[in-house]
Structure 1
Amino acid sequence: MLYRRWGSKDDLVVTYTSSSKEDVRIMEKVKEVMKAHVIELFLSGYLSKEDARKLLLGINTFTSIDPSYEDVHEALEDHLIKQAGEAGGSIGLGRSRNDHVATALRLQMRDEILELLEFLINFRMTLISRAEENLSTPFIVYTHFQPAQPTTFGHYLLYAEEEVASRWESIYRTLDLVNRSPLGSGAIVGSSVNLNRRREASFLGFKDVLLNTISSTSSRSDLISAIMEIANLMLSLSRIVEDIILLSSKFLGIVELPDSHVSTSSLMPQKRNAVTMEVLRARISKVVGDVMTVMNMYKSIPSGYNLDLQEINPFLWDVLDESRMGLEVLNDLMSKVKVKEIKADNEMLATDEAEILTSKGIRFRQAYHEISKAVREAKFVPSITMEQSVSRKVVEGSPSPQRMKESISFARERVTIHEKTLREYKNEILKGEGELRLIENDILQEGN
C-alpha cells in the first residue's frame, strides 16, 4: 500500500473503501491528467527533462489497476515509482488525488456528453427523414388520452425531434460548466508549488479553470447538472416510448412495431409484446432513480473532499450508459415503425366544423355548442374528411403539407447548425490536446 501503510492488502477497510473496479472507466483520463502534471512540473522547473521522460514512459506502460489498491491514483503512482525509480517520487509534488480525480471525471464526462450529443444528432436525422417519408400519412393525436384531432405521422415525428432538439441545446450548455479544469488545486487550498493552472488546463483541452480551489477539488455540481439534463431528455423520450407501447396495442392498433422489437408470450402465441419499449420505459425510471441517488448522496456532504464523492461516480456513468443504449434502441425502432390504416373517427372533425361555421358568420362559442349538441345526439356529420382537415391547418408548425415542408426544412437547418457547433467544440479540445502531445513527443524523443 502506498498511502495506507498501516493496512494490509487484505484489510477489510481497504477492500470496502476501494474504488479500483469503478476507476477502470476513468483510467485513461487519469493517465492524461498525470501527463499534464508531469509536463507542467518540467516546464515550471521542478523536474528535469530526463525525469519527465521516465515518468511519461511509465504512464504509457500503465495498463491495468490491481484491485488491492485504494484507487487508480494510488495504483498509478506506485507503478511510476517502480518504473521510473527516484523520479517516481516527484509526482506527488503539487498534486493531490482530489484535484486529479476531479479533473479526470470532467474529462470523461466531457467525452461522454460529446458522444451523446453526436448520437442525438443522428437520432434527430432519423426522425426528420421518417417525417419526410410520412408527410401525409394519417395519424391520430390525443389529449387526456382521448382522440383529439387528425394529423400526420410526420407531424408527430417532428414533435419528437423538436423535443430532442431542445434537450440537445440544454445538454450542450452544460459542456461549458463541465469543461473547466480543477487541476493544480491540490487537496483543497492549492500548493506552494507554483504551477501554471491555465497552461495545464489548455493541455487537456479545457475551456477555462475552476478558480476557487475548494470548489475545484470538492464540487460535483457541474457533473450533476449534466446528468440532470440528460435525465430530462429521457423524460421527454419516455412519453414517446409510452405512446409507442399504447398505440401498438391491439386495443388501438395504430402503429405496427418491427418484428425485431416485439416478442410473443411463452403461453399465448398470438401476442406481439412491445418488449424493447417496456424495458426502455423501466430503464428510464432507473435513470431518474440514479439522479435522485446522486442528489441524496451529495446534499449532506460538508464542503471539501469526502469519500462519499467517489460513491457518486458509478451512478453518473449509469445515467450515461442507460441513456445511450436506450437511444440506440429507440432510434432503431423509429427507423422501422409503420403506421396502420387509420379508421376514420368523425368526432375528431368537430373542431373543424365549428371553425367552418364561424366562417359563415356564427360566433365560435355558439358554433361550438351547436356541434357539441350534434355529437351528443349522434347527429354529427362532418362536411370534410380527415385528410382535408389536415390540409386546412394554416398556422406555422401545423401538419398541413406546406407547413410540414417548412418545418422539415427548419429542422434540417437546425441540425446542420448543431453539427457545426459540435465540430468546432471538438476542434478546440483537440487543439489543446495536440499541444500536450507535441511536448510529450519532444520529451520522449530526447532519450532516443
Structure 2
Amino acid sequence: MRRSRVATAAAVAVAAALVLSGCGRAEDTGTSGAGGGPAAEGKASGEIQVWTAGGHADNLKKLAATWLKENPKASLTVTDVPWDQVITKLQTATAAGKGPDIIMTGADQTATAIGMGAFDPLPDGVYKDSDFYPAAVDSVTGDKKKLYAMPWYVETRFLFYRKDIANQLGLSAPTTWDEMQKMSAAFKARQGGTYGISLPRPTEQPAQVIVPFDAQAGGEMTDGKEWTIDTEEFVSALDYYAGFFQRGEAPIEASTDATFENGGTPMFISGPWMLGIYKDEIDKGTAPAGFTMDSVGYAVAPTGPGGNNNQYIGGGNLGVFSAAKNKEAAWSLVSWMGQVDQQEKWYDLQGELPANKGAAEYAPIQDNPVTSTLMDQMKDTVATPNYPTWSQVSDLISKYSEMVARGKMSAEDAAKEIQAKATSIGFGW
C-alpha cells in the first residue's frame, strides 16, 4: 500500500503505509526466465523515462545521479504522478501502447498493473528474490508465479497508544489480542474516557486491519487456487474487529470530536508518518494542552490466536512497461536501485525502508527507536492479496463488516456471503 506522507519525528525522518497473498513466490532464481535482461554494467544508453508516484521524483533523480555517471550515454526523465491517478494513466498508456520505460506502483496497485498487461515479466539478472522480504516479493508476483517488478521500498504498520494514559492506568503496551482488548476497555472506562481505540470504520476499507487480524488468527485469504474467506480464522478476525464497535470502544460514526491527541481515541494501528503529524501539531501549537511526543507510545502489533503478529506490508514497486522503448537500460537502472548500497542511500534521501533485507542492519535504521520498531515488525508481515480483483473483494469486506459491526449480521453469515461473491468474482488473471 501507498503511504500519504513522510514522517519526521524528533530527530528522525522516516517513512514507512494489510493481508495474505495466495500466489506463492517464484523459485529462488530471482527471475521468471524472460529474455531481454539489463544492459551490461556501465553500458546503458539512451533516454529512460520514469513515472514515479506520490512525490518520489526529486529524490530519485538525486539517487540516480551516480548511476548516470557510471552510464554516461544514458539520460533520465522522471515524472511524478499522484497516487490516485496511477492506475488510470497506466490503463491509458497500455491501451495506446505508449508510455514510459519504468513505472512505479504501490504494493496494492501492482497486481492490477500486471493484470492489465502493463508490465513485462522480470528477465534474468535483475535481482535475487531471496534477498527481498517475501511479502514484498509476493506483491510483484503474477499468475503462474511469474515476477513482474522489483520491490523498491517497504513499509508496514504497528500499534500506537497513549503511553501517558496507559502509565496512569498501570498498563504497558499490549502483546496479545486479549491485552489489546483489555487496554481498549480500560481506556474507555477511565474517568473522562470516550473511546478505547480507533479502527478503520466500515466505510474506510476495514480490510486494512481485518485481513491482518485474519493472518494473526492463523488464516489465509487464499490458498492460491481460490479465495478462502469462509473460515474459522476469518470469522474470528471479523468478530474481533466488530467487537470494538459493538462494545462502544471504537467510534462507528464519522462525526466525533474524539482524537488520539485529546485522548478520545487513545489507540490505533497505523504507520510512523503519524509521528510527523503529531510533531507538526506540537511545533505549531495546535496540539491539545499536555500532549507531547512523550505522550505517544508505539509497539509491534499484538499476537493473535494463530500465534503470530503479522501486519500488512506496503511500499512501492518498480516495473518496466510492456511497450517501453528502452528496456535494457530500464532494467539496468531498476537492478542497480535494488542493491544494498542504493537501498541505504534511498533511506537517507527519502526515509523509506529498504525492501532488500541486506540493508536492514543499516546503522541509521537500527539506531532509531522508530525505525528499529518498524524493522522488528517487518519480520512479521503479509502482503495484499496480489490479484487484480482484490479491490472488489476488499469492498465486499467493507460492506459486510459494517453489518456485523452494527449487529445486523453474524460474522459467520458475513463470511459465507463474502466467500460466495468472491468466488464468483475470481482472481481476475
TM-score (norm 1): 0.23
Q: Which has the larger radius of gyration?
A: 1
More strand by share: 2
> Scaled by the length of structure 2, what TM-score is found?
0.24
